Structure 1
């Protein structure tokens, strides 16, 4: 949160943000209701609402019912005032595709499609983004979901060779003059899972993702925040020297070997992070795998350190939800007055 001193323009912006937040939470409210919630005077609330209505960020609704007094004007936050565009590549049946989704400020999907591409590079993304910005001129933020890691503005780890060493977020921020966020797949998935399940703010959750052809990755959610580490390398669990042949067909073909490998990884991360829950996803994982993994872990961890092991069945939904949350967060003003 940005702490700022007090002058007339800054105070006005803070007051606008207070009114904005109340309307987002309540969906609709009267001046009096907003004033009671924010502590602002009705006159100040009226001035802020006038500004927001002029900007089309707030809409005038109907009149509230009254038990005798004059009906009051209802105000509604316009969730279509700004939109966000989320893009992420994935593979299906040997093809490379990019999924692109446009959402409004409530996260409601306005447009969604998949396009087959030959290569993942900056030009490929631009060919998708440019026409979407024309079709949806209210798009105000871009989010990219990519396996890999960015440090000091450059892609230091990526499954796509053409992106290595590229300043992806800076490039698109300069090209489109809009906020840009880049997140890797499993980091976005843990955010989406925690948001969807309303994880407690003080919880610690590890999300382990097991692709069929690549080594696993982890997303770490600690005390209500995504944890990336000093150089955004946290969660690269494939580098842990556990002697596990990740990605080999022989591992996936054996129920026992697979459960032993995942249990070994789960015990390792649990011994370091002591999470409340370890969430597992792999298209090949079933409930019986989770039962066996839980049994193996319970023989190696004390009961007080044993996490709840959960199987999530929709990685794509967790991934998209996390990207929506991260991208929309760039459009949230975060101001606070200090003395």
Structure 2
């Protein structure tokens, strides 16, 4: 009697695919035995998954390993050309906007980086910019968009660039371009990019503060390797903390107050700080303020970042690739 395939069985198979793909990317190339050791799956299960992935072209069979007396093992690697990913962020306001884009392969290798400034951005310009990139990269299957605003379930609830306000941007882009789309907050992406490039094994909270022109400080937080979104995707909107400024308050004191608040709430092990109003030497005054208000054992490490660009783009690229791999596994 044939046992019907339950949803649980199907889900397990898809989960196995995700485990194998992620392990293969982490190892760059691997044998079935390597993947079994990395994932905890059996060699036979890894072999079945790899055979199916080779048929779709997502995984490539490489040369056989040198034999040590027995049968030489087949080595495998993810196919970097299986698809490409667009990571794009828009920054600025209604007066002027800048768009920065990164195109990467299925294995995360950078293919091209682009940058453009628009004195006055329109949706037509925005869509045209994406369309031009898709024309140049026809195998582009996923895009991640970063915006200075609050995004809830694919809808832009609020944004510093008003043309995006209330737009259901995820379904709009999916319908227009027919690719996987993810849209997120600028600071969440930036914090994750910083985390991945500086402390990817850290499980304690890590925070990232951005001080742009003006008083609207932004913050992103990563806890146990995951971005903290909050119940309504409002986590990190630290400009809403009612901090009463002193008459002659300097930017270092303002940021010091925010760091102290973060320590009291999430107790980060590390806080990165960036923005045009911050210089590396300001961290001395920020650290001194924190020392005056916190016990020494709770002080986080403060790190200056001269620009958010690479952290931002890396965060978009890695989170989009992670989400798309999950999407691929569960759409097979």
Shift of 1:156: 2.2
Distance 2:154 2:11 in 1: 30
* Structure 1 match to 2:26: 25
Residues 37 and 317 (structure 1 numbering): CA distance in 2 closer, same or farther, change over 3 Å?
closer
The structural deviation recorded for 1:27 is 1.9
Do the aligned partners of 2:78 and 2:107 also contact (CA within 8 Å) in 1? no
Structure 1 range deviating more: 192-201 or 141-150: 192-201
| 2:124 corresponding residue in structure 1 | 123
State whether residues 121 and 163 of structure 1, in contact with CA within 8 Å, keep that contact through their aligned partners in structure 2: no
Q: Identify if the C-alpha distance between structure 1 residues 16 and 189 changes in structure 2 by more than 3 Å, giving closer, same or farther.
A: closer
Instruction: Map 1:31-46 to 2 at 5 A.
Output: 31-35=32-36, 37=38, 44-46=45-47
Report the alpha carbon displacement of residue 117 of structure 1 after superposing the two structures with TM.
2.7
d(CA) in 2 for partners of 1:40, 1:225 = 24
Greater shift after overlay, 315-324 or 204-213?
Answer: 204-213
Q: Is the 8 A contact 1:85 1:101 kept in 2?
A: yes
Confirm whether residue 274 of structure 1 aligns to residue 267 of structure 2. Answer: yes
Match of 2:3 in 1: none
User: Conserved in 2, the CA contact under 8 Å of 1:179 and 1:330?
Assistant: no
Among candidates 253, 260, 269, match of residue 260 of structure 1: 253
CA contact (8 A) 1:120 1:163 kept: no
Q: What is the alpha-carbon distance in structure 2 between the residues aligned to residue 113 and residue 14 of structure 1?
A: 35
Partner Cα distance (1:32, 1:233) in 2: 44
With over 3 angstroms needed to count, the CA separation of the structure-2 counterparts of 1:77 and 1:283, relative to structure 1, is same
Question: Larger relative contact order (C-alpha < 8 A, sep ≥ 6)?
Answer: 1
Deviation at 1:31, TM superposition (A): 3.8
How far residue 301 of structure 1 moved from its aligned partner, in angstroms, is 1.4
Matches within 5 A, 1:1-339: 5-7=7-9, 12-35=13-36, 37=38, 44-91=45-92, 96-151=97-152, 153-213=154-214, 215-244=216-245, 257-333=250-326
User: Does the CA contact (< 8 Å) of 2:272 and 2:303 recur in 1?
Assistant: yes
Shift of 1:39: 5.9
Unaligned runs of 5+ in 2: 1-5
Residues 75, 234 of structure 1: CA spacing in aligned structure 2 closer, same or farther, 3 A cutoff? closer
Q: Is contact 1:141-1:330 (8 Å) kept?
A: no
CA deviation map 1:171-215 (0-9, x unaligned): 112223332111222211111111111244431122110012452
TM-score (norm 2): 0.85
Q: How many residue pairs align between the two structures? A: 323
State the shift of 1:271 in Å.
2.4
Distance 1:11 1:224 in 2: 23
Aligned partners of 2:41 and 2:229: how far apart in 1? 39
TM-score, normalised with respect to structure 1: 0.84
Unaligned runs of 5+ residues in structure 1 are none
RMSD over aligned CA atoms reads 2.9
Q: 2: CA distance between counterparts of 1:52 and 1:23?
A: 12
* Cα pair 2:92 2:161 within 8 Å, conserved: no
